[in-house]
């Protein structure tokens, strides 16, 4: 029997970032802009690391950028299908902000 440890995290703050129904064009713009900002965040993080230490490990940032590019393509494909079907897109995006785990 495989048992998994469950951790309960108290949600300290919730921010309703996006909520509503959007045309495919609006949804594409919104999602693309959000993902673009996150990609830029990782690029800046990576650049900052390299400026301080040109031999530093930037693997996480590089992998995360590639993951986000893939997710952006998947979202665009989904939105394209909805456009062909003549359907709008419903987006519900909530940021849940918590403290990290305390270390004794």
Mean pLDDT by 10 residues, the chain (104 residues): 56 92 97 96 92 88 96 97 96 91 68
18 within domain boundaries: no
Q: Which domain holds residue 73?
A: 39-86
Domains contained in the chain, number: 1
Strand intervals (E) in the chain: 13-22, 89-97
Q: C-alpha distances in angstroms, 84 versus 23, 40, 71, 99?
A: 12, 31, 20, 43
pLDDT at 11: 73
pLDDT at 4: 53
77 within domain boundaries: yes
């Amino acid at each position: 029997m495989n048992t998994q440890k469950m951790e309960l995290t108290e949600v300290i703050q919730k921010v309703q970032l996006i909520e509503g129904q959007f045309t495919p064009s609006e949804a594409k713009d919104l999602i693309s802009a959000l993902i673009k900002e996150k990609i830029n965040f990782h690029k800046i993080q990576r650049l900052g690391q390299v400026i301080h230490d040109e031999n530093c490990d930037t693997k996480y940032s590089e992998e995360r950028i590639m993951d986000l590019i893939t997710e952006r393509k998947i979202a665009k494909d989904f939105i394209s299908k909805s456009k062909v079907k003549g359907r709008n897109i419903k987006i519900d995006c909530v940021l849940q902000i918590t403290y990290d785990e305390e270390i004794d």
